[in-house]
Amino acid sequence: MSSNKSFQLAAIQMVSGTSVDVNLARAGELVAEAAANGAGLILLPEYFCFMGRRDTDKLALRESPGSGPIQDFLSSTARRHGIWLLGGTLPLISEDADRIYNSMLVFNPDGQQIARYDKIHLFGFRKGDEAFDEAATIRPGANLAQVFEAPFGPTGLSVCYDLRFPELYRAMGNVNLIVMPAAFTYTTGSAHWEVLLRARAIENQCYVLASAQGGKHENGRRTWGHSMLVDPWGEIISCLPEGEGYVEGSIEQSRLDALRLSLPALGHRTM
């Protein structure tokens, strides 16, 4: 992408429920709307396809790599709209009978899967009546920094709890965009979501596109929402506080070039 070019992005926000069919239909509608409005890369949130009543419910939905209705949906949707589609996360089979990989898949405009990232950092939290232990049903991924080449340059993949571990993003090298599908809890999101997204953008001098779950779910869980696009100076370009919808904006190569020239922090790194 030349220095005077821009590329439009969108992050979908959902309040996913217990029906895969309903979730996929709603995701399809939101993607179609964002694509019709000009987005060439669209990011779906973590668990866009399913949020069960129990953590173990997702085990029954696990798919083998390259085969399954959720992957078919992502491939056909990317191809239909001619977009880069990043499938938040979906459950893929792992070596453990009682755990899945929580995986983000990237599809190009031809509907071909060109990248995969299995979530590495697994959320554990306990405060009052709230308790989460992702490691009980999710196997951590083994491949660290996953980067693919988008039309506007290198793009780093991460998921939700990864946001708290800046060393993961340093390992990606110089990227133009970091994507962050998430289902942050209301408690942790209200305290840390925005500040961490802006910090990752500032310290890596890149755009950050974050798609979230945002509302009260059938299973009783409440998620924080606030899907957003953050520019490399840490400014929020667009944000959706709660409910279904999407945020959009452009990645501007001229903005990246100018900021990195005036403040060449990436070149000053010693570690």
Assess whether pLDDT exceeds 90 at residue 22. yes
CA atoms lying within 13 Å on the CB side of residue 149: 1
For the beta sheet containing 245-252, the strands, ordered from the edge strand earlier in sequence to the opposite edge, are 113-118, 100-107, 84-93, 41-43, 6-13, 245-252
Confidence of residue 271 (pLDDT cuts 50, 70, 90): confident
Q: What angle do CA 70, 194, 225 make, to 5 degrees?
A: 40
pLDDT of residue 127: 80
**pLDDT tens per residue across span 143-158:** 888 999 999 999 999 9
**pLDDT tens per residue across span 85-105:** 999 999 999 999 999 999 999
Please give the structure tokens belonging to residue 173.
């090298």
The 3-class SS string of 101-120 reads: EEEEEEECCCCCEEEEEECC
**119 annotated active-site:** yes
Assess whether pLDDT exceeds 70 at residue 255. yes
Please give the structure tokens belonging to residue 206.
């890149």
- 190: DSSP letter: I
163-190: average pLDDT:
97
- 79: DSSP letter: H
Confidence of residue 1 (pLDDT cuts 50, 70, 90): low
Helix (H) or strand (E) run with residue 53 in it: none
19-29: average pLDDT:
98
- Catalytic: which of 63, 119, 206, 244? 119
Domain residue ranges of the chain, discontinuous segments joined by +: 7-264
Return d(Cα 264, Cα 238) in angstroms, integer. Answer: 26
Q: Select from 246, 247, 245 the least CA-distant residue to 236.
A: 247
- For every residue of 209-225, DSSP letters joined together read EEEEB-SB-TTS-BB--
Return d(Cα 220, Cα 215) in angstroms, integer. Answer: 10
Assess whether pLDDT exceeds 70 at residue 2. no
Confidence of residue 23 (pLDDT cuts 50, 70, 90): very high
- Catalytic: which of 49, 63, 134, 160? 160
Residues whose CB is less than 8 angstroms from the CB of residue 55 and which lie 6 or more positions away in sequence, other chains included: 133, 134, 136, 137
**239 annotated active-site:** no
Assess whether pLDDT exceeds 90 at residue 194. yes
Please give the structure tokens belonging to residue 45.
């949130």
**46 annotated active-site:** yes
pLDDT of residue 204: 98
197-206: average pLDDT:
98
Return d(Cα 68, Cα 70) in angstroms, integer. Answer: 6
Q: What is the pTM of this model?
A: 0.96
Assess whether pLDDT exceeds 70 at residue 3. no
- Catalytic: which of 46, 134, 244, 248? 46
Residues whose CB is less than 8 angstroms from the CB of residue 187 and which lie 6 or more positions away in sequence, other chains included: 125, 127, 130
pLDDT of residue 133: 87
Sign, CA dihedral 34-35-37-39, equals positive
Return d(Cα 184, Cα 114) in angstroms, integer. Answer: 27
- The class that CATH gives domain 7-264 is alpha beta
Assess whether pLDDT exceeds 90 at residue 228. yes
